[in-house]
Every structure is written in structure tokens, then in C-alpha cells.
Amino acid sequence: MDAQGVHIETHPREGAPVFSAGRPDPCTLVLFGATGDLAERKLFPALFELARSGLLPEHFAIVAFSRSKLEDASFREHVKEGLQKFARTQPLDEAAWKRFAETIETASGGYDDPEAFKQLGQKLQDIAKRHQTGGNQLYYMATPASTFPQIIKSLSDADLLKREDQPGKKPWHRLIIEKPFGHDLESAKALNKTLGAALDEKQIFRIDHYLGKETVQNILVFRFANAIFEPLWNRQHIDHVEITAAEAIGVEGRGGFYDETGVIRDMVQNHLLQVLALCAMEPPVSFGAEDIRDEKNKVFRALRPVEGGEVPQHVVVGQYAGYQEEKGVKKGSRTPTYVAMKMNIDSWRWQGVPFYLRAGKNLKKRLTEVSIHFKSVPIGLFSGGGDTCQRLQPNVLTLRIQPHEGIALSFESKIPGEDVNIGGVTMDMDYAESFKKPVPEAYERLLLDCMRGNATLFARQDSVEQAWGYITPILQALETDAGGTIHTYPKGSKGPDAADALPAKNGRRWSTL
């Protein structure tokens, strides 16, 4: 028991897993943008962690491709320095590093240089022999979205990307692309067209690191493996759902990039709509990738459109004080760093249940969570002696995605004593602590899934376009005065006060940050 008197026991079930992840296939990972920030902070640390834990395929190699000239030895040194800063387990395991370093090789050249891709092809053939990777190729585009079409064209022209019409054929070629998957509906469709011209949808892995988080995956198990929750998961019992993604940091020197993107493209269109879909979807036929993705897509199709003059009633946007002074931000920019939205899902299960989303930078604290607010008990039994009577709080189920991943449930209880006094109780399960296992980084899981060819946690073409179809009219309204005011809020606050009006119209309020 801890100091608060909460005692949580976990009982892992015996027997084979419900859904076995399986071994990843031998392969060569070609990393475009290998000298960039994402590679240093996330991708190499994730690959190293997998190597250290013995989870990578036995036959595996990395080709770090960069436009600037790279030498194997000095690049490995650069990777090691990054791992000393960003690897999940410190200090760096030297023996594991030695083994991992041997798998890293380099290649360089312009993304539009046919000669560079011809040399890359020869290098891959050579690696396939030396490392016995069976010719399986995984291409990772950790580069700006503007470079995607050119890299795809160069790979195709060099015969390094082949369309696979039969799933499960070897050797395979797969492509991982990082968000943003387009800038609006039109550009998303254009990108999908470029991808579709070169590859089958099953070869394309659109990576959204939020979906790799253990607690996001746990939403499905929590919902569908517990008979006490699934019968309540509907409009009869749930009053509203709140999804929060608050960041304590600002744009961190990436003002130019952020000013082009903004919080809605950066957080809502991908991460938060994906989380919303997992919370709102119907039970899938199985844990198979396409069954889960089919159900998520139905949620996007059921989102009630918000367009033109309706936008200010459903969407409140803000900028933190001092945003316009950030390096790279245009003067007079209308790019929001905070958004609060009220969304409706026109389906049998969710009719009349509002979904409130909020996301922003420079807020009071870093927190991503989903709160399911259940309906209040009928009045009567607890109305007591007039106005001074204690107010009952509705039950809230909170799924914490980061930090301190876990699940909390609040309920009402009698306080010991002669009078009937009521107190709120929160039972809280910390994910890593309860299971006595470290929670892996999202990229570790996602990289392995690509090597397995398991697309469950990746965005599918139709869903990406559905999500953009919902978001684009909102973005268009916000870029003009029709979208209403852009409110300024102080750094380190809960965001603009105007956001409180969204839930307040229906007598609700945001959870405190």
C-alpha cells in the first residue's frame, strides 16, 4: 500500500498472448534525413534500445542517407554522442553499442541525383549479401514533406521501390513517412496519389508516434476486455468526453516551421483525432490491422462538419504572449498555438455526446489525457437540507497518455463519522509501476511493426483524407476573420479564458490543468 491507502495488484494472464506480435523480418533500413533532429532524438535511440534488448531482427543493417557527405566512422561517432544524450537507458551500454555500431553504414547524394541512387542500389545488394537481410528494404523518410515526391521518384527510377500486389511476397519494399501527411485536404490527396503511383497501400506506413504509445493501445483492451465499462460506453451513460494535449514548452526555435503548421495541423488533425477514434469506435471484428482501421474510419465519416460562420461557435484559438516575437514567425501571423474545439459524432452510440478537444503550447503543464465524464446521478436521494447540501461530482474515468501513463477513476464515498458526509475518491493506476516494467518509447514499437508488416498503428489513406476533410474547412475559416478572434494567453497558463465558453454553454467545464 502507498501513503494514500491505494493498493494495486496486477495479475498477468497465463498462456499465449491474445495477439502475438511475431518476429520482425530481416531487413535493411534506409534512413533519409539521417543527420536530422528526429533521427538523433528519436530514431537512433529507438533502434539502439531494440538492439540492446535483442528485439531487432538477427540480420539487420542501417544505411544512413544524407545530402551532406558522410563517413562511416565519424557518423557512428555522431550517433553515439546522440545516444549519450537521448537513449532511454543510461549510461550507454558499451557492449551493445559496439554490436549496434557495426550495423550502421552511410550513403550520400542529392535526392534528385540518379547516380547517388544507383550507388545506393549497389550498396543495398552488397549489404543484403553481407548481412543476409534477404533483400527486404524499409525506407524511412525523416525529411521535410516537400522532399517526399522527389525521393519516391528517385527510388522508383533506380528500381529500388517495387509495387507489391500480393501481400506476404518476399523480398518486400516498404516506406515509412512522417507527418505532416499533407497541409490540407488537397495536398494530402496529392501526396497519396504520389505514394499510390509507386506503391500498394499495404506497403505505405504513415507513422504517428502517438499511436505507438502503450496507453493509447491500451484504450482498446481497456474498453473491450472489461464488461463493466463497455455497456456504459455510450450516450445513455456518458455526458461528455474531453481530450487534452497540453505542452509546457513553446516553439523551441522552430518558429518558421511552426508558423506554417500551427496547433491544428500539428496536433489535432493526426494525433488527437486518432485518439478520439479509438475512444469512439465500435468493437472491431478482430485485432487485425484492417478491422481496427475500418472502425476508426467510420468514426471520421460520422464527424459532424463545422464550416464557415459556424466555426467560432465550435472552435476557439489562441496564441501565447510573445509568439509573434519568436524567430521565424511572421508579424501579424494568425497561426494558433492553442485550440479548443467542440466536436460531435453523428452515430447511434454518440448522438448528443459532445467531444471537447484542447491542445496548446506554453501551457501550465505537459499532459495528454482522455477524460470520460459519466452522467450525474438522478437528483433526490442526496438533495438533503436545501442549498448548502454537498454537491456530488459525476464519475470521471481518466486515461493518461503522458506523462505518468496510467488510468484513474473517481467516485464518491461516505467519509467516516456520524453525519453522512460525502468525499471524492480517486483510484489511480500508474502503468509502469503497476506492471513493474518500463514503458517502451513509441518509436520502438512502431519500427518493429513496420518490419513485421503490421499496419494496425498506422494511418490509412482513407482515414487521412477523412480527417483532412473535417479539418480543412475549419482551417480555411480561421485564416480569415470569419474564424473569429485569435485570443492571446499568458505563458504557463491554462490557455485563453474564451475557451471556457465552449463547455460552459451546456453547463460543463474543462478539467483543471
11 annotated binding-site participant? no
**Any idea how long the chain is?**
513
266 annotated binding-site participant? yes
Q: Which of 237, 271, 404, 487 is catalytic?
A: 271
H/E stretch holding 95: helix 94-101
437 annotated binding-site participant? no
Helix (H/G/I), strand (E/B), else coil: 484: coil
**Domain residue ranges in the chain:** 27-207, 211-373+436-501
Q: Which residues contact 418 (CB under 8 A, 6 or more apart)?
A: none
Pairing label, strands 137-141, 238-246? unpaired
The pLDDT profile of the chain, 513 residues, written as one tens digit per residue, is 344 556 777 777 677 666 666 788 999 999 999 998 899 999 999 999 999 999 999 999 999 999 989 899 999 999 999 999 998 888 988 999 999 999 999 999 999 999 999 999 999 999 999 999 999 999 999 988 888 999 999 999 999 998 888 777 889 999 999 887 888 999 999 999 999 999 999 999 998 888 888 778 788 888 888 898 889 999 999 999 999 999 998 888 788 888 888 999 989 988 899 999 999 999 999 888 889 999 999 999 999 999 888 999 999 999 999 899 989 899 888 999 999 999 999 999 999 999 999 999 999 999 999 999 999 887 666 666 555 455 778 889 999 988 888 888 888 888 888 887 888 888 888 877 777 777 778 899 899 999 998 888 888 999 999 999 999 999 999 988 777 789 999 999 999 999 999 999 888 999 988
Domain 27-207 class?
alpha beta
Q: Which residues contact 274 (CB under 8 A, 6 or more apart)?
A: 208, 210, 211, 216, 296, 459
Q: Enumerate the β-bridge partners of residue 356.
A: 242, 342
* pTM of the predicted structure, to 2 decimals: 0.88
Grid coordinates representing 427 are 483510484
Q: Residue 2 has what pLDDT?
A: 46
Catalytic annotation present for 173: no
3-state secondary structure 379-395: CCCCCCCHHHCCCCCCC
162 annotated binding-site participant? no
209 annotated binding-site participant? yes
CATH topology of domain 211-373+436-501: Dihydrodipicolinate Reductase; domain 2 (3.30.360)
179 annotated binding-site participant? yes
CA dist 153 → 12, 195, 201 (Å): 48, 10, 17
441 annotated binding-site participant? no
Query: Same fold for the domain at 27-207 and the one at 211-373+436-501?
Result: no
Grid coordinates representing 238 are 456518458
